[in-house]
């Protein structure tokens, strides 16, 4: 009977409902999860000192090479990751860290600015990067953030305001408690959409569960043509020499052009600019037999010194086409790097919700890069999964110190393959 008034009454009632939801900070979004708005808009012209921006970039660069030293030990073979994506996702998490957790995160991530200056500096850097490549030939650089929270869980308005004002991230509400798998798929689909389908299944099954309360995500997508493209007609199969002394045959691209170039004891370096000459790829080529020595010596200071020493020279460059995909679980790595408190039951993220209930369950990262004659396509995404500690449960005690019966069965079919008993294990 309520709807007999027809479409006009129905439309009016729907409008009132949406208005009420909006006042509550839960207005429906454009087909995705409900957004809980902080009431703050992103600051699009942050007042950030140039020295703060330089300090942030320097800290991020130091973290990038610290992380490299750990990841190269964790993963054999090819390696690719986005330290900026990881720093951004963890910076959003850091906004809620307090006490020893905050101190350890700052030391590990090289966040030397106080929180009230760090987050505006990230905002300024992000907005600066967003202006790259405007009008460039086939140039794309997209950096986006999103946070996903449990429906009904109370996050502090001050925490949500920091993320809204400095990272453009509204809180998207999901029901981890009732349907963690659907929530995982929603987040993974968002990451895939933001990275043009290059990063799929960022968060594997089992990482999100009914105690998940918050997931902070960053996604980066980059695609650009070389300023000096390689001629595909010049590409030839050639040898690539491996560390173990073997070799493989791969397509080798060739080009002669003016590039930034440097050389030193045991290495050569070349810088390949992208269209618009606002971004570039830098290649460090250790001398034959010197790879491990050079890799061990490479840090933020050495990389900066090499780049600053470059001068333009005519270079006959030959390099392979390549594609690399990498995926990492970073909880153990980041703990080993100096921030174990964030992953422990003693974590203090009271800046998020006013309690000591949350800790970082996992930090997942995936990255992709493809380099060919035309240019480069790269994508990366990071997810920081926050879990509620819950009440510690007492373990059930069982001591098998008397005769027992046992069986061996097939789990899927239930087929019992073996049955036995033990009345004297010493017999």
Quick one: pLDDT at residue 206?
93
- Taking residue 64's Cβ as centre, other Cβ atoms within 10 Å add up to 19
Quick one: pLDDT at residue 344?
96
Using alpha carbons, list the distances in angstroms from residue 128 to 16, 45, 48, 101, 261.
40, 10, 12, 30, 27
Burial class (CB in 10 A: 0-12, 13-18, 19+), 294: middle
Q: Which two tokens stand for residue 340?
A: 């174990």
DSSP 45-109: S----HHHHHHHHHHHHHHHHHHHHHHHHH--S-----HHHHHHHHHHHHTT--HHHHHHHHHHH
Reported as a pLDDT band with limits 50, 70 and 90, residue 5 is: very low
Q: Answer yes or no: do 308 and 331 share one domain.
A: no
Reported as a pLDDT band with limits 50, 70 and 90, residue 412 is: low
CATH number of the structural domain spanning residue 73? 3.30.497.10
- Return the higher-pLDDT residue of 333 and 38: 333
For 259-284, letters b (16+ CB in 10 Å) and e give: bbbbeeeebebbbbbbbbebbbbeeb
Residue 271 has pLDDT above 60, yes or no: yes
Residue 145 has pLDDT above 90, yes or no: yes
Reported as a pLDDT band with limits 50, 70 and 90, residue 322 is: confident
Quick one: pLDDT at residue 3?
34
Reported as a pLDDT band with limits 50, 70 and 90, residue 209 is: very high
Q: Which two tokens stand for residue 55?
A: 């300090």
Phi, psi (rounded to 5 degrees) for 304: -65, -40
Q: Answer yes or no: do 218 and 354 share one domain.
A: yes
Q: Answer yes or no: do 113 and 208 share one domain.
A: yes
In a domain, 111, yes or no: yes
In a domain, 5, yes or no: no
Q: Answer yes or no: do 173 and 214 share one domain.
A: yes
Q: Which residues fall within 8 angstroms of residue 323, CB to CB, at 6 or more apart?
A: 368, 369, 370, 371
Q: What is the mean pLDDT of residues 268-294?
A: 89
Q: Answer yes or no: do 361 and 383 share one domain.
A: yes
State the chain's mean pLDDT as an integer. 86
Q: What is the mean pLDDT of residues 142-151?
A: 96
Q: Answer yes or no: do 378 and 309 share one domain.
A: no
Quick one: pLDDT at residue 58?
93
Residue 96 has pLDDT above 50, yes or no: yes
Report the candidate in 218, 221, 220 with the shortest Cα–Cα distance to residue 384: 218
Q: Answer yes or no: do 119 and 251 share one domain.
A: no
Check: CB of residue 105 under 8 Å from CB of residue 111: yes
DSSP state at residue 131: T
Quick one: pLDDT at residue 147?
96
Using alpha carbons, list the distances in angstroms from residue 210 to 320, 343, 354, 355.
46, 18, 21, 19
In a domain, 52, yes or no: yes
Count of structural domains, the chain:
2
Distance CA(30)–CA(194), nearest Å, equals 15
Check: CB of residue 176 under 8 Å from CB of residue 213: yes
In a domain, 286, yes or no: yes
Residue 138 has pLDDT above 80, yes or no: no
Reported as a pLDDT band with limits 50, 70 and 90, residue 75 is: confident
Q: Answer yes or no: do 260 and 383 share one domain.
A: no
Domain range for residue 66? 34-225+324-388
Per DSSP, helices labelled H in 264-309 are 291-297, 300-308
In a domain, 304, yes or no: yes
Q: Which two tokens stand for residue 217?
A: 């995500």
Q: Answer yes or no: do 131 and 266 share one domain.
A: no
CATH number of the structural domain spanning residue 303? 2.30.39.10
Final residue belonging to a domain, choices 272, 301, 320? 320
Q: What is the mean pLDDT of residues 280-302?
A: 90
Reported as a pLDDT band with limits 50, 70 and 90, residue 423 is: confident
Residue 425 has pLDDT above 80, yes or no: no
Burial class (CB in 10 A: 0-12, 13-18, 19+), 291: middle
Q: What is the mean pLDDT of residues 286-310?
A: 91
- Please give the share of the chain, as a percent, with pLDDT higher than 90: 62
Q: Answer yes or no: do 128 and 257 share one domain.
A: no
Residue 91 has pLDDT above 90, yes or no: yes
- Please give the share of the chain, as a percent, with pLDDT higher than 70: 84
Reported as a pLDDT band with limits 50, 70 and 90, residue 23 is: very low
Distance CA(368)–CA(276), nearest Å, equals 23
In a domain, 61, yes or no: yes
Residue 390 has pLDDT above 80, yes or no: no
Q: Answer yes or no: do 274 and 382 share one domain.
A: no
Quick one: pLDDT at residue 31?
46
Q: In what order do the strands lie in the sheet with 358-371?
A: 34-36, 171-174, 140-150, 212-225, 375-388, 358-371, 322-329
Final residue belonging to a domain, choices 320, 345, 376? 320
Question: What 3-state class would DSSP assign to 417?
Answer: strand
Q: Which residues fall within 8 angstroms of residue 297, CB to CB, at 6 or more apart?
A: none
Residue 205 has pLDDT above 70, yes or no: yes
Q: Answer yes or no: do 102 and 39 share one domain.
A: yes
Query: What's the pLDDT tens digit per position in 231-265?
Result: 999 999 998 888 888 888 999 999 899 999 999 99
In a domain, 290, yes or no: yes
Q: What is the mean pLDDT of residues 423-427?
A: 71
Q: Which of 69-73, 131-135, 220-224, 356-360 has the lowest mean pLDDT?
A: 131-135
Quick one: pLDDT at residue 39?
79
Q: What is the mean pLDDT of residues 185-197?
A: 97
Quick one: pLDDT at residue 34?
64
The pTM (predicted TM-score) of the whole model is 0.85
Final residue belonging to a domain, choices 320, 353, 377? 320
Q: Which residues fall within 8 angstroms of residue 119, CB to CB, at 6 or more apart?
A: 91, 95, 162, 165, 166, 167
In a domain, 404, yes or no: no
- Which range has the top average pLDDT, 6-20, 34-48, 317-331, 346-360? 346-360
Reported as a pLDDT band with limits 50, 70 and 90, residue 13 is: very low
Q: Which two tokens stand for residue 22?
A: 């909006």
Q: Which of 12-26, 170-184, 287-301, 335-349 has the lowest mean pLDDT?
A: 12-26
């Amino acid at each position: 009977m309520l709807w007999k008034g027809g479409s006009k009454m129905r439309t009016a009632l729907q409008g009132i409902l949406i208005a009420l939801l909006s006042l509550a900070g839960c207005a429906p979004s454009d087909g995705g999860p409900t957004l809980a708005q902080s009431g703050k808009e992103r600051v699009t012209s942050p007042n950030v000192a140039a020295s703060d921006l330089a300090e942030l970039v320097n800290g991020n660069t130091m973290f990038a090479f610290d992380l490299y030293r750990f990841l190269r030990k964790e993963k054999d073979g090819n390696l690719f990751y986005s330290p900026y994506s990881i720093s951004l996702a963890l910076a959003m998490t850091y906004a809620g860290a307090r006490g020893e957790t905050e101190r350890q995160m700052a030391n590990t991530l090289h966040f030397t600015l106080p929180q009230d200056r760090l987050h505006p500096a990230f905002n300024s850097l992000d907005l600066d990067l967003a202006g790259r490549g405007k009008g460039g030939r086939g140039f794309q650089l997209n950096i986006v953030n999103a946070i996903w929270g449990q429906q009904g869980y109370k996050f502090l308005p001050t925490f949500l305001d920091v993320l809204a004002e400095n990272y453009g991230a509204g809180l998207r509400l999901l029901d981890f408690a009732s349907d963690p798998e659907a929530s995982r798929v929603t987040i993974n689909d968002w990451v895939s959409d933001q990275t043009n389908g290059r990063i799929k299944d960022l968060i594997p099954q089992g990482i999100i569960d009914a105690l998940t309360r918050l997931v902070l995500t960053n996604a980066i997508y980059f695609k650009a043509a070389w300023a000096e493209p390689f001629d595909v007609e010049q590409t030839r199969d050639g040898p690539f020499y491996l560390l173990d002394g073997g070799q493989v045959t791969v397509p080798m691209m060739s080009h002669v052009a003016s590039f930034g170039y440097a050389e030193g004891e045991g290495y050569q370096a070349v810088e390949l600019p992208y269209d618009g000459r606002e971004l570039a790829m830098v290649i460090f080529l250790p001398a034959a037999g010197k790879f491990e020595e050079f890799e061990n010596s490479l840090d933020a200071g050495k990389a900066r010194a090499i780049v600053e020493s470059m001068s333009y020279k005519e270079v006959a460059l030959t390099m392979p086409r390549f594609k690399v995909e990498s995926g990492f679980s970073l909880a153990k790595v980041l703990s080993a790097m100096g921030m174990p408190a964030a992953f422990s039951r003693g974590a203090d993220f009271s800046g998020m919700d006013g309690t000591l209930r949350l800790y970082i369950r996992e930090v997942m990262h995936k990255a992709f890069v493809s380099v060919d004659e035309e240019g480069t396509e790269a994508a990366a995404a990071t997810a920081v999964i926050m879990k509620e500690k819950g009440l510690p449960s007492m373990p059930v005690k069982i001591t098998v110190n008397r005769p027992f019966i046992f069986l061996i069965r097939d789990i899927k079919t239930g087929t019992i393959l073996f049955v036995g008993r033990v009345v004297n294990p010493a017999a």
